[in-house]
Amino acid sequence: MPSTQNYAAPEAIRAERITVDGTSLRFSDATTASLSPLQTNFGAINGTQGALIGVTGYTDGTLIAGTVYGSEASGVRASTPAEFSNRDAFVLTDGSGNPRYPIRGGTDGASVAQPLTAAEVRTVLEEAFTVLSRSRAQIRRPLDSRMQATISLVDTRGEILGIVRSPDGPLFGTDVSLQKARTAAFFSGSHAAPELLATPVLPGVANVPAYVQRTRTFLNDPAALTGTVAFADRSGGNLSRPYFPDGEVSRPPGPLSVEQSAQFSPFAVGLQTDLIALNVVQHLNFVVSGGASPDTPQQCTQIPDVTPGHKRLANGIQIFPGSVPIYRGNTLVGAIGVSGDGIDQDDMTSFLGAHNGGARAGTIGNAPTGIRADRIVVNLAGGANVRLRYVSCPFAPFLDTAQQNVCDGL
Amino acid sequence: MSLAGSSLWPIIASLAAQGAPGDAVEPAPDAPPAASEETPSGDPSLDDLVPPPPPVNWQEMMSEDLVTQIIEGRRRPGYRPDLPDRLTQDNIGALRPPPPEAFPGMEDQLPVPDRWRLIESLGVVKERWFDPYHQNTYKGDRALCIPTEEEQERRARLGEARCKTPKFLGLKGDDWFFVANLISDTVFEPRTFPIPVGVQTTSRPGSLDVFGKNRSFVAAQTFIAGVALIKGSTAFKPPDIEYRLTLAYQANYVDVPERRVLDVRPSKKSNRYDSFLGVQELFIDKHLGNDSDRYDFHSIRVGIQPFQSDFRGFLFQDSQLGIRYFGNRDNNRFQYNLAAFWRLEKDTNSGLNDITQTPRDDFIFTGNLYRQDFPFVGLTSQVSVTYNMNREKNDVQIDHNGFPVRPALLGDLRGREYDVVYLGYSADGRIGRINVTASFYAALGEDRNSFFTSKPAKIRSGFGAVELSYDHDWMRFRLSGLYATGDGNPYNNTEGGFDAIFENPIFGGADTSYWIRQTIPFAGGGRVIAISGRNGILNSLRSSKEEGQSNFNNPGTVFVGLGGDFDLSPEVRVSTNFNHLWFADTSSLQALRMEGSIPKDIGFDLSVAGIWRPKATQNIVGRLSAAVLVPGKGFKDLFDNKEGDKAYVSILANVILSF
């Protein structure tokens, strides 16, 4: 709070003005007035009260100016007509004017009979962007602001086939939308079980292969994670909660969560953190050793490579909603992930983007209803049963109509 | 939320009114104009007593004298007969008639120990214990016998049954009455309302949106059993003391199409059976004294008792633990109440009083004054001051279905307390031929923690409701309007939404109407919050009408209604209601839904109800009603359903059997 003096967020847009199912988020319980008299001059304390220090890999200990968002140097800028149809869409750029992830067709021709074409990818991204542009933001003030988010599309190998984002989408959503897309593609694909089983065990730290059997036992399905079910990220999220179903504290954890509910913490959520545990340790050693110990390589999960230097989960998985797999008929061809403005909005943008784009292309679409994860019913102790969810599209989602239940029947 | 609870209040209120002849202080809650109770047919002894009708041409048969004459002791307005000279009787040497003792054997021929037994002695009616309608000792129609030795001897001598009144009661005197009540209330209620699908799991695949299927039903069976012991001898003199106990047992079953509506646990099935035994009345009423020779009186009543703040139950109408000092003055033209209540917890699914839980930290202090024929003849006015002191800041209450109710799952989720004073004026009666009932309240006070700002906020809200009706023969036509203010800015330090303490409005069709009867979960803005509560008209965004706190950050209510009551016969009444509802201000809804454009229009609420009383009494009452909510723009903007239904229905089938 002292550091935001003169730059504090206006009250009208603070998180406490955001409600989620009626509950307000928290912003701060302290006020500037309740603190001791504040120093307003950094120069007066620098070097006496403390000093700037270097952190390997992050800063050399000198102050640097920010980069104007949207400029070429910031790495994010408006798209050009050659890159995307809509000027409102922003893309990632390499600092020299070249898009980092230009739209392209699927790279998985070796394992998929008919990979996504560049035209199909473009159509789905365009339709998803249209849905995004019409949608009402859930976590944005003033009310009735438009949704702002990032959309990522990947093939079955997790390779990026395109990333577009709205101008004010949160930047972290770039990474998250990609995680979501890769998670949906991975768990809906036939390689999920084999690759998890082939992931090295780190005794006492992470046992990734064990999750396969836990999942198969939990779902009472020996063929689970071999591409028979379409998992949206919401479905995998259901299985990743420390209690299953979520919130029912007398029940054991989901099979992708920690083994004992009490072990759950933001630093140990189960498969998601186990996949990257070694990478986190490697990076910490790099920082702490001042660079003496090598940093973790890119492609930072421990699952095996598909092709040398390429993994299906190259930036980890995500366990909250906002992505769906994409199918050509009954064949998985990729996945779309969205992150930025409410998980229900992210779900809807992925789902309707895949549906509308697929309908326009006429060749691809969402998973057939019969193989979606919401067909899975988990039997629990005491005779109870719980169905997994696929997506949850929000109430009154659009700014231009009062339409409800917009995903119904699709 | 309580999706099964039905309002037992009218029944409880009617119980309290029974067998308490002097307890006329509280005006009845708009009892519908009672059809005059017919003489039961099939009883020849009664038929014999009915005089023959006059001849058709009786007017011609009368002489001019008869028209100008008057009956002794009566006056005819505007007519002054020529009076004859005053006569003074002077019966010199006249003797008193001899006393009864002068006639040997006469004492055996006057066997009427009290006037209550006179009618039976005359052979007009034969008491039957199971018949509540005719004279019945168990319904307080006749005094209890007192099992003294003389009485038992007298009975033995006359060959009557022994007096069975238990001796341990220690009753003395010949004016103790006993009243038993037994009521069966059966409700079957199919209805549709927007129901959100479960977040963690859904009932069926393909549930990809917020709103699921909307068809559900409630079945509830309630038995109410009460006993009262009353001392007091006449219809005019208030009873000296009354002891009363009323228990209610309800078994209810609800079936909804979606998960996590009836229970917080997602794995629970979407139906629920529950039952509960509640204490609805438990009080002692002591007559403290008379204030005039016309039996103006003052009394005190202590214990769980019904109370109603105004004529139509807008502010507080409940059976609660309290102490109440009440009475009347000026020939019953002034009536007054001073009362304090400590609110009991309610059972979640039945709405009955749960005395096994510590009472709430919520208190009501109220005083009111009624004046008859003021300001117009036929109109009773009431002024009231009601202070609701809520101290539930540190209270966390989870209902029986696992949903938090205090603090409500709204805004900052912090506990809160409030002080609010309701200043009220109400009127009931008629002005000329127009029947009038009206209530106005200003709610002033402070909420110590507005859930929007986490700061204290002033409460400044208001309420007004008026119903005008006109009777034509067997028909009554009603025009009603209601306005409850809504909060205009959730983030300022004033809460402008009106909320009651515990409403049970008899207005605009009452529980026949959709909006009053049904609870609408505020999906998107707090799925465990109700837009308006069950048997409530105010859009108050409470966690529960029964267990939640009053909420003054609400959108308010605007209501206009046209209705009619048609007494087709003494047995059959049909009522219709055409209502339209709006929110007064949707700012609070917008903030909670993160949706900046919510229209005010709730929609049309159309209903029809048929009431059948096969014996033309209140002992057997059947009711069937159906209501349709045709959503307006605001409602459509808020809610939908997966079945494509354009309108929502509320059907209520209800049978009440009373002893």
If DSSP codes are grouped into helix, strand and coil, which group holds residue A384? coil
The DSSP output letter for B642 is T
CA B245 to chain centre: 17
Count Cβ–Cβ pairs < 8 Å, chain A vs chain B. Answer: 149
For A230, which DSSP code?
Answer: B
Cα gap B204→B197, rounded to integer Å:
9
Q: Which pLDDT score is estimated for B112? A: 58
pLDDT mean over A131-144: 95
List all residues of chain A from 12 to 31 with a beta carbon under 8 Å from chain B. 16-24, 26
Q: How high is the pLDDT of residue B167?
A: 87
Average pLDDT on B330-346 reads 96
pLDDT mean across residues, chain B? 88
Backbone angles phi, psi at A123, to 5 degrees: -65, -45
Residues B283-292 have a mean pLDDT of 94
What is the reported pLDDT for A127?
98
Q: Are B206 and A143 inside 8 Å of each other by CB?
A: no
Q: What is residue B359's predicted lDDT score, i.e. its pLDDT? A: 97
Q: What pLDDT digit, counting tens, does each position of B549-608 carry?
A: 999 999 999 999 999 999 999 999 999 999 999 999 999 999 999 999 999 999 999 999
CB contacts under 8 A, A 309-368 vs B, are 344, 351
- CA A212 to CA A224: how far, in whole Å? 8
Query: Distance (Å) from the C-alpha of residue B468 to the closest C-alpha of chain A?
Result: 37
Closest-CA residue of chain A to B589: A22
Judge whether A350 and A179 are in contact, CB under 8 Å.
no
From chain B residues 486-515, the ones with a CB under 8 A of any chain A CB are: 491
The predicted structure's pLDDT at residue A190:
96
On whether any CB of chain A is under 8 Å from the CB of B112, the answer is: no
The yes-or-no verdict on residue A329 having pLDDT over 70 is yes
* Chain B nearest C-alpha distance from A229 (Å): 14
Q: Which among A22, A369, A406 has CB closest to B522?
A: A22
Cα–Cα distance for residue pair B517/B579, rounded to 1 Å? 13
* pLDDT of B345 higher than 70: yes
What domains are defined for chain B? Answer: 9-26+176-658 (2.40.160.100)
Question: Checking phi first, is residue A56 left (phi over 0); if not, alpha (psi -120 to 50) or beta?
Answer: beta
Which of A4-13, B410-419, B421-430 has the weakest average pLDDT? A4-13
Chain A interface, best mutation among B594, B595, B598, by max A CB count within 10 A? B594
Cβ neighbours of B210 in A, within 8 Å: 344, 392-395, 404-405
B223: which 2 tokens?
């038995």
Q: Are A389 and B201 in contact (CB under 8 A)?
A: yes
More confident call, B11 vs A185: A185
Does residue A33 belong to the interface with chain B, where contact is any CB pair within 8 Å? Answer: no
pLDDT at residue B3, as a whole number: 44
B168 burial (CB, 10 Å; 0-12 / 13-18 / 19+) is: exposed
What distance in Å separates residue B499's CA from the closest CA in chain A? Answer: 19
A234 pLDDT higher than 50: yes
- Answer whether A23 sits within 8 Å of B265, measured CB to CB: no
Q: In this structure, what token pair is assigned to residue B55?
A: 């001849």
Q: Which of B130, B158, B163 is nearest to B144 (CA)?
A: B163
Q: pLDDT (tens digit, 9 = 90+) per residue, B620-654?
A: 999 999 999 999 999 999 999 999 999 999 999 99
Domains of chain A: 2-45 (no CATH), 99-387 (3.30.450.150)
Q: What is the pLDDT of residue B81?
A: 65
- Positions of E strands within B485-539: 494-495, 521-522, 526-530
Token couple for B96: 């008193």
Q: Which amino acid belongs to residue A113?
A: A
Give the gap in angstroms from C-alpha B452 to the nearest C-alpha of chain A: 8
Continuous segment of H or E residues that includes residue A351: helix A343-361
Q: What is the pLDDT of residues B451-487, one digit of tens each?
A: 999 999 999 999 999 999 999 999 999 999 999 999 9
Q: Mean of the pLDDT values across residues B78-96?
A: 75
Q: Give the integer Cα–Cα distance in Å for B305 and B282.
A: 7
Residue A377: its pLDDT value, please? 97
Q: Which of B1, B204, B208, B260 to mutate to probe the A interface, most A CBs <10 Å?
A: B208
Q: What is the C-alpha separation between A269 and B489, in angstroms, rounded?
A: 41
* B647 bridge partner residues: none
Instruction: Say whether A23 and B411 touch across the interface (CB within 8 A).
Output: yes
Of the candidates B267, B409, B642, the beta carbon closest to that of A248 is on B267
Mutate to test the interface with B, among A148, A389, A398, A403 (most CBs of B within 10 A): A389
| Cβ density class A295-326: b for 16+ within 10 Å, e for less | bbeebbbbbeebeeeebbbbbbbbbbbbbbbb
Q: Find the DSSP H helices in B58-126.
A: 58-61, 64-68, 118-121
Provide the pLDDT for residue B294.
86
The three-state secondary structure class of B435 is strand
Residue B121: what pLDDT?
67
Positive/negative CA dihedral, A328, A333, A339, A344: positive
Nearest CB among B206, B211, B595 relative to A144 is that of B595
Q: Do B637 and A402 touch (CB under 8 A)?
A: yes
Hunting for tokens 């326009």 — which residue is that? A360
B524 touches chain A (CB under 8 A): yes
Q: What is the mean pLDDT of residues B115-122?
A: 67
Place of tokens 């009601």: B386
Nearest CA in chain A to B599: A402
Q: Which residues 410-449 of B are in CB contact (within 8 Å) with A?
A: 410-413
Across B306-317, average pLDDT:
96
Residue B45 has pLDDT above 60, yes or no: no
% of chain A beyond a pLDDT of 70: 100
Q: How far is A178 from chain B (nearest CA, A)?
A: 22
Neighbouring C-beta atoms of residue B575, cutoff 10 Å: 22
Average pLDDT over residues B59-84: 65
Assign B22 a pLDDT band (cuts: 50, 70, 90): very low
Please give the residue that has the higher pLDDT: either B58 or B287: B287
C-alpha distances out from residue A137 to A176, A204, A298, A391, B339, Å: 17, 43, 33, 17, 50
Query: Cβ–Cβ of B452/A238 closer than 8 Å?
Result: no
User: Whose structure tokens read 């003489």?
Assistant: B39
| Spatial distance between the Cα atoms of B364 and B369, rounded to a whole number of angstroms | 17
Task: Give B45's strand partners.
Answer: none
Q: Residue B564, SS3?
A: strand
Please report where in the chains the tokens 């005019």 appear, as a residue: B236
The Cα A90–Cα A324 span in angstroms is: 22
Q: Is the pLDDT of residue A154 over 90?
A: yes
User: Hey, are the CB atoms on A389 and B200 less than 8 Å from each other?
Assistant: yes
- pLDDT above 90 for A400: yes
Locate the chain A residue with the closest alpha carbon to B196: A395
Of the residues A378, A404, A407, the best mutation for testing chain B's interface (the one with the most B CB atoms within 10 Å of its CB) is A404
CB contact under 8 A, A139 and B591: no
Q: Number of helices (H) and strands (E), helices first, in chain B?
A: 9, 25
Contact (CB<8Å) B594/A18: yes
CA distance B326 to B283: 14
DSSP class per residue in A175-210: HHHHHHHHHHHHHHSTTHHHHHHTSPPBTTTB-STH
Look at chain B and count its residues: 659
B203 and A387 in contact by Cβ < 8 A?
Answer: yes
Among the partner-chain residues B206, B409, B590, the one whose CB lies closest to the CB of A23 is B409
Percent of chain B with pLDDT over 90: 70
Which of A344, A256, A365 lies closest to A20 in space, CA to CA?
A344
Q: How high is the pLDDT of residue B66?
A: 58
Mutation target to probe the B interface, by most B beta carbons within 10 A, among A395, A400, A407, A408 is A395
Give the CA radius of gyration of chain A. Answer: 22
- Using pLDDT thresholds of 50, 70 and 90, give the confidence band for residue B227: very high
Judge contact between B429 and B378, C-beta under 8 A: yes
Question: What is the band of B105 on the pLDDT scale with cuts at 50, 70, 90?
Answer: low
Residues B603 and B628 sit within 8 Å (Cβ to Cβ): no
Smallest Cα distance from B408 to chain A, Å? 10
What confidence score (pLDDT) does residue A59 get?
93
**B389 to chain A, closest Cα gap in Å:** 25
CB of B434 closer than 8 Å to CB of B405? no
For chain A, what is the mean pLDDT?
94
Q: Is the pLDDT of residue B43 over 70?
A: no
The reply to whether B639 touches chain A by the CB within 8 Å rule is yes
How many CB atoms lie under 10 A from the CB of residue B106? 11
